[in-house]
Amino acid sequence: MDANEERRLRVKQESIQITKEREAPFSFWERDKIKMAKKANAEAGLVEDCKRPAFKANRMPDFSSIRIYAEEMQIQEEARLKRIH
């Protein structure tokens, strides 16, 4: 290595050190780094357990049945046929 390359590496390391010293009071940077790490883990397939409860549907009400649906479809079909003819 010549002198210029050594100086460039030294300056780069000093710059990184200065940056790390200055980032200490900023808590949002640490939070952002954690978010980026979680995102990288999720993309890699290391997803954390979902904290939401599993979806569970309520029972279908008695007034909504297949019979009512069939009747409604028949009414719509009759109306469609009236419009066509």
Q: Which of 40, 38, 34 is nearest to 48 (CA)?
A: 38
**0.95 exceeded by pTM:** no
- Say if residue 46's pLDDT is above 60: no
Name the domain count of the chain.
1
pLDDT grade for 76, boundaries at 50, 70 and 90:
very high
- Contact (CB, 8 A) for 47 and 41: yes
Q: How far apart are CA 58 and CA 30, in angstroms?
A: 42
Instruction: Compute the distance between CA of residue 6 and CA of residue 10 in angstroms, rounded to an integer.
Output: 6
Residue 7's pLDDT is what?
A: 92
Mean pLDDT over each residue of the chain, to the nearest integer: 81
- For 32-55, what is the mean pLDDT? 75
Rounded Cα gap, residues 15 and 21, in angstroms: 10
Statement: residue 28 has pLDDT above 90: no
pLDDT: which is higher, 50 or 75: 75
